Amino acid sequence: QVQLEESGGGLVQAGGTLRLSCAASGRTFANYAMGWFRQAPGKEREFVAAIARSGSTSYADSVKGRFTISRDNVKNTVALLMNSLQSEDAAVYYCAATKQGDMEAVRATQYFYWGQGTRVTVSA
């Protein structure tokens, strides 16, 4: 059983930076692959970034070069650093975990554990 709690969301100006964090419970965090997804109003949940237990990463094309996912297996956290934020990035961001630790899972159906989400608002 893994419980996830996101933090760090808020209001930021376009072009600004925000860092999201996800704290995970459980002693086997290092074995899990982790991901970030987002959902804007009226839209489906979409993949943002993923990190395998090896540390290898994958990004959606829309955030590549602007967002960075990282993990700290000592602190049981995964972070999403978001630079050059745009209005299109505004959404509720969700942290997710999967036991398929060796892959950078990009589909929501691959994840079993989800956080409650943290809202990111981008102002013009």
Q: What pLDDT shows up at residue 47?
A: 98
User: Strands across the sheet with 18-24, in order?
Assistant: 4-7, 18-24, 77-82, 67-72
At 44-66, the pLDDT tens digits run 999 999 999 999 999 999 999 99
At 61-90, the pLDDT tens digits run 999 999 999 999 999 999 999 999 999 999
Q: What pLDDT shows up at residue 90?
A: 98
Q: In 10 A of CB 43, how many CB atoms?
A: 9
Q: What pLDDT shows up at residue 103?
A: 87
Residue 27's pLDDT band (cuts 50, 70, 90)? confident
Residues 6+ apart with CB under 8 A from 92: 9, 38, 39, 40, 117, 118, 119, 120
